[in-house]
Amino acid sequence: MLLGGKARQFIAASSANLATMMYGISVGWVSPSIPLLMSEETPLPSGPLSKTEASLISALLYMAGMVGSLSFGWLADRIGRKWALFAGTCPHIIAFLLIIFAQDVNWLYVSRVFSGLGCGALFVVLPIYVSEISEDKVRGTLGAIFCNMVSIGIVVGRCLGSYLDFYVVPYVVLCLLAVFVLTFPFFPETPQYLLLKRRESKAEKSLKRFRGAKRDVNGKMPEKFETEFEALKNSPTLTNQSNSVSWEDFKPYTTKKAIFISLVLISGRSICGVLPLDNYTASVLRESGSTWDANLGAIIVGLFELLGSNLAIVFVERWGRRTILIVSSLGSAFCLSIMGALFLLRSVGVDMSAYGWLSVAAFSGQMTLAAIGIVAIPFSVSAEILPPKLRGIVCTGFLMFYWVLTFVIVNFFLLFAEVCGMYTPMWCFTGWCLFEFIFVYLYLPETKGKNFEEIVLALQGKET
């Protein structure tokens, strides 16, 4: 029996997102591994790491991510979304091979740089690939798989780092990478990219594959398929344009508005606090005064983050992107404010050992609510609202900024908390979440179930 179009799109998006799990593992692995590497029981022959070295291991991934986003974003417009994404797994393979042979911190530095290159590739190419293979009605759901696989990777990374030998973990990760390498090449390039490159017959074959369309007994394609393909061919954003990008492409009001919205939403993934809290979960839980086992608490928080990612998949097409972002940003602000209050009380000498459950609950609540919207939706929304011709270059530029911003926040998070108190960064994250709530409420149109032309009208403030 032939698979339906939505099933084919789901399988293709899931296969592509197997690579995304590597980013989650690279982040989740840090939480249990850094305390081990800093202890006297460190597996490195060179001895324990210093606090500065440990912070740099956490943060280097994000600086290298900038280079990965730049290079693979350019590559996505040259060799296609599919093969750029496939090539993006090579740095991950090198990264985990380096861990196997690591003798001192320098091996880990280089490993994290390669991990960052691979993560940068995923963040810029994968949302574009998934958006361009998806039907309007399932585009949001398929886009949310990205965050779900990152959350799965974080939980897997924390479990592997907590309960397996340091030098065994890379072998498990390489086996997971092999699944992607063996399955993803069987899926075609995206129809929109092929049309951009004037390969109409290949674009039609690609769309047939992703829609599960076949000819009837009279040799005709389904009317729905023909309508969609004609709409793609006749779209002014895909036809009658040169492959080079000029300043004229940035002049339309709706393009400028889409770029500004994308900048705010993508920046919010970092400034909302999820990434530093993901990297230093165990340290933050210890600082809160909780008597829970730090690694176990980190895994529990990761499971709630995974719950949020799954809720995003379920509700993104029911509630819409805008509604979910409003709930996510406001809810995250509430949970972060509670965490800030708990840290403030502990800093003034209040015994918080009896409230360890509350810090874990607030932490878990923030991760769950952020994963539903602030973390899950920005990249898919950007791919929806940006003109196809500009998606690669604009997403690449914003991701460069995003990686630098995240590097700074992750690298200096512990120092900032040590100097100003852990409650200070928590309330800074709270302030951003409140800002994003107001911004989304006032400025972001709903994109659920709309094609690009309808989204352009929504950006103009016109009903569709």
- Please give the full DSSP string across 236-273, using - where no structure is assigned: TTTSS--SS--GGGG-SHHHHHHHHHHHHHHHHHHHTS
227 occurs within a structural domain? no
CA torsion angle for 405, 409, 411, 412 (degrees, to 10)? 130
Same domain, 328 and 385: yes
Structural domain tally of the chain?
2
Same domain, 118 and 210: yes
Q: What is the share, in percent, of the chain residues with pLDDT greater than 90?
A: 28
Could you tell me the CATH number of the domain that includes residue 71?
A: 1.20.1250.20
160, 190, 214: which is the final residue of a domain?
A: 214
Burial 25-60 (b: 16+ CB within 10 A, else e): bbbbbbbbbbbbbeeeebebeeeebeeebbbbbbbb
First-to-final CA distance of the chain = 37
Same domain, 266 and 196: no
Same domain, 400 and 451: yes
Highest mean pLDDT among 3-7, 158-162, 452-456: 158-162
Same domain, 258 and 377: yes
222 occurs within a structural domain? no
244 occurs within a structural domain? no
Please tell me the predicted confidence (pLDDT) of residue 243: 56
192 occurs within a structural domain? yes
Q: Which of 103-117, 172-186, 282-296 has the lowest mean pLDDT?
A: 282-296
**pLDDT, the chain, mean:** 85
377 occurs within a structural domain? yes
Q: How far apart are CA 91 and CA 442, in angstroms?
A: 40
Burial class (CB in 10 A: 0-12, 13-18, 19+), 175: exposed
Same domain, 256 and 126: no
Which has more confidence, 356 or 315? 315
241 occurs within a structural domain? no
Q: How far apart are CA 453 and CA 455, in angstroms?
A: 5
Same domain, 335 and 195: no
Same domain, 70 and 172: yes
Please tell me the predicted confidence (pLDDT) of residue 384: 82
Same domain, 184 and 272: no
Q: Is it the case that residue 201 has pLDDT exceeding 70?
A: yes
Give the contacts of 117 (CB within 8 A, at least 6 positions apart).
64, 65, 67, 68, 71, 88, 91
Range of the domain at 53: 1-214
Same domain, 340 and 210: no
Q: What is the pLDDT of residues 224-235, one digit of tens each?
A: 787 878 888 776
pTM flag (> 0.85) = no
Q: Are 292 and 285 in contact (CB under 8 A)?
A: yes
Same domain, 112 and 205: yes
